[in-house]
Amino acid sequence: MSPSHNESKFNILPHPARTNDPRDLEPPQLGAGLNSNPEQQAFHARGPYKPSQQVLQGVEQPRSKAKEAAAEAPDTEESNEKAAELATIDIGDALPSLTLKNEKGEDVDVATLAAEQGVIFFLVPKADTPGCTNQACGFRDIYPDFTAHNFAVYCLSADSPSAQSKWQTKKELPYPLLSDPQRTLITALGAGEGGKTKRSHFIFEEGGKLVEKKIPVKPADSPKLALEYVKSVA
Residues catalogued as catalytic: 132
Handedness of CA 207, 208, 210, 214 (dihedral sign): positive
Residue 54: partners with Cβ closer than 8 Å, 6 or more residues away: none
CB 177 within 8 A of CB 164: yes
